[in-house]
Structure 1
Amino acid sequence: MAQSNRWNCKTKGALAAAILLLAGFTAVAQAGWFDGIFKKSPVEIAKSAGVVETADAVKIPLTALDSGKVLFLRAEMGGRPLYYFALKISDGAYRVAFDACDGCFQSNLGYRQEGDRMVCNKCELAFPSVRIGEITGGCNPRPLALKVEGQYLVIQKGDIAAGKNYFPGNQS
């Protein structure tokens, strides 16, 4: 009987430890701490968002931007990956810009979104998303021209290709 109770105590302790470990892992994952490890590539993100490429344009469904979260994208032009992003800002307007700025582009680090602010991953300068396209230079992202056609936000591939100098290295 004593042997059985000892085994039950060890089993219960191990089960409790496993549950706590699983709960901790789940909490950390929900907090987004593993995003850098399990992050989808821009190509996977674009595909799941319904982005359509034609010979001369990239078409992003407006519904893919309804959440206000930035949609990071990648275009392969002349053997060089070019990175850009699109979002719907708080006033309902759409913005598209290169994932690079005049000041820090050579680092190939781009931006991240924190709430309604964009943050340069190199110098940590943060600014409201509503400034994208209105203020240029310095650490502000270089805007891209866009059109809304029906249910799509349309970006011309020629405009994307014009930003090739913002991506000097082979960013992966």
Structure 2
Amino acid sequence: MKSWVAALVIILAAVGVGAAFSFPGLGRYEKVKAVNGAVAIPLAAVSDGTAHFYKYSQGGKDVAFFVVKSPAGAVKTAFDACDVCFREKKGYEQGGGYMICKQCNRKFDINRIGHGAGGGCNPSFLPSRQAGGSIIIAVSDLMAGARFF
């Protein structure tokens, strides 16, 4: 009888943890929606030097990306994927001033993320612009990276 109760407690705990990760803010990615063909992320939400991970969905396709303020003060945007390791679907994690590929463990200086820094295992560049206190990312640019996911 006691083993039955213990098994039930373990099952309920596992279901609870799974449900928690489906609530906004508790999973790895915060879901974002587009308005007028673009996603807007408030600068105030990403100005802490920590990488913030987002997911945009369109037509059954999820596109993951991150926004991080570099140690030099520039806000960087990139797909949570690279040209080499994207098939593993592991993405990146932050380690201080670096983004680290979770597949091959290569480190990439956050200051260098951007246009022209692609190729290899670099975080794939995601164009963005700043306007009105937000980072603006065009849906067309997001969907251009759908092949990674």
User: Does the alignment reach a TM-score above 0.5?
Assistant: yes
Q: Which residue of structure 2 lines up, in the alignment, with residue 10 of structure 1?
A: none
SS at 1:53's partner residue?
A: coil
Corresponding residue of 2:121? 139
Residue in 1 that maps onto 2:10: none
Note closer, same or farther for the CA distance 1:123–1:165 as it changes in structure 2 (3 Å cut): same
**Displacement, 1:55?**
3.5
Unmatched runs of 5 consecutive residues or more in structure 1 = 1-36, 168-172
Alignment RMSD, CA only?
1.9
In the alignment, residue 107 of structure 2 is paired with which amino acid? A
Query: Is the CA contact (8 Å cut-off) linking 2:37 and 2:138 kept in structure 1?
Result: yes
Distance in structure 1 (CA, Å) of the matches to 2:108 and 2:130: 25
Residue type of the alignment partner of 2:71: S
Partner of 2:40: 59
- Which of 101, 105, 129 matches 1:120? 101
Larger Rg: 1
CA contact (8 A) 1:52 1:60 kept: no
1:82 aligns with 2:63: yes
Aligned length: 126
How far does residue 128 in structure 1 lie from its aligned partner after superposition? 1.1
Give the match for residue 6 of structure 2: none
Counterpart of 2:148 in structure 1: which amino acid?
Y
TM-score using structure 2 length: 0.78
Is 1:159 the counterpart of 2:145? The answer is no
User: For residues 132 and 69 of structure 1, what CA distance do their matches in structure 2 show?
Assistant: 14
Percent identity of paired positions between Structure 1 and Structure 2:
37
Q: Is the 8 A contact 1:42 1:74 kept in 2?
A: no
Q: Which has the higher strand share?
A: 2
